[in-house]
Chains A and B, each alone.
Chain A
Amino acid sequence: MLHTVNASPFERTALTCCLAHAVNGDAVVLIEDAVYAVVKGSTASAEIVAMTEGVDLYVLGPDLAARGINRAKLIAGITEIDYAGFVDLVVAHTSSQAWL
């Protein structure tokens, strides 16, 4: 299963709920305002670090760039992808689910 999350973790619970349902072998892609979650030192990033064993985490580069989030500010263990990489992930998973 490929999960996408598009909401800021400081405004909505989509990320927390997604992480609670993601299982070993799943992938999570953070897009739009959800990319704020991977900034080092944030409470949301601590949650990610604590909860992601066996789950691959991705963040959409264009959404980072739009928000001026420098790569150096990201937590470790997260893979930055572009749109083509996003498409590849969708193709690689049998189903996907959007957490709004």
Chain B
Amino acid sequence: MSDTAIAPKIIKKFLYVNRKAPYGTIYALEALEAVLIGAAFDQDVSLAFLDDGVFQLTKGQNARAIGMKTVSPAFGALGDFGVTRLYVEAESLAERGLTRDDLMIITHDFENGTTGEVPSIIVVDRARMSNVMAEHDIVLTF
């Protein structure tokens, strides 16, 4: 083992799995904080939304009247943080009477400076979601 001071930069694939609705518990806000920290440390960060977690992405949220911070606007900033993949489980949407149209439109810039925006939300079925989880080095569930 060498004792060099500077360790090589290690980039791991992180998946932050969101399974809770946004305002009943603090999980959604805490997850978001963890996501932003992961991204700030230049890790390869993706998000997954399943079960009640899909409620985090619905349009029209405003938590002012319950005295909480509205969670959803921050998802629009994820592209600026280099977070460009938000996997959403189709079955979880359907179980809750939701469709893709109920979700916010979240985009990120084309890579390599080309102008234009790409949708960040990727709707996947349950089997594909299992694969997505398996493809990541670190899975953090909230």
> Which residues from 90 to 114 on chain B have a C-beta closer than 8 Å to any C-beta of chain A?
none
Cβ of B81 under 8 Å from chain A? no
SS class of chain B's interface: helix, strand, loop or mixed? mixed
* Residue from the list B134, B136, B138, B142 in contact with A100, Cβ < 8 A: B142
> Which residues from 1 to 58 on chain A have a C-beta closer than 8 Å to any C-beta of chain B?
1, 13-14, 17, 20-23
Count of interface residues, chain A, beta-carbon cutoff 8 Å? 15
Question: What is the CB-to-nearest-CB distance from A14 to chain B, in angstroms, rounded to a whole number?
Answer: 8
A20 contacts which chain B residues (CB < 8 A)?
126
Cβ of A79 under 8 Å from chain B? no
Contacts A1-B133, A97-B133 given; indicate if A17 touches B138 (C-beta within 8 A): no
Q: Is the CB of A95 within 8 A of B136?
A: yes
* Residue from the list B126, B130, B138 in contact with A95, Cβ < 8 A: B138
Cβ of B137 under 8 Å from chain A? yes
Binding site for B on A (CB under 8 A): 1, 13-14, 17, 20-23, 94-100
Binding site for A on B (CB under 8 A): 17, 19, 27, 50-51, 126, 129-130, 133-134, 136-139, 141-142
Further 9 A-B residue pairs, CB within 8 A, beyond A1-B139, A13-B51, A95-B139: A14-B19, A20-B126, A21-B133, A23-B130, A95-B137, A95-B138, A97-B133, A97-B139, A99-B141
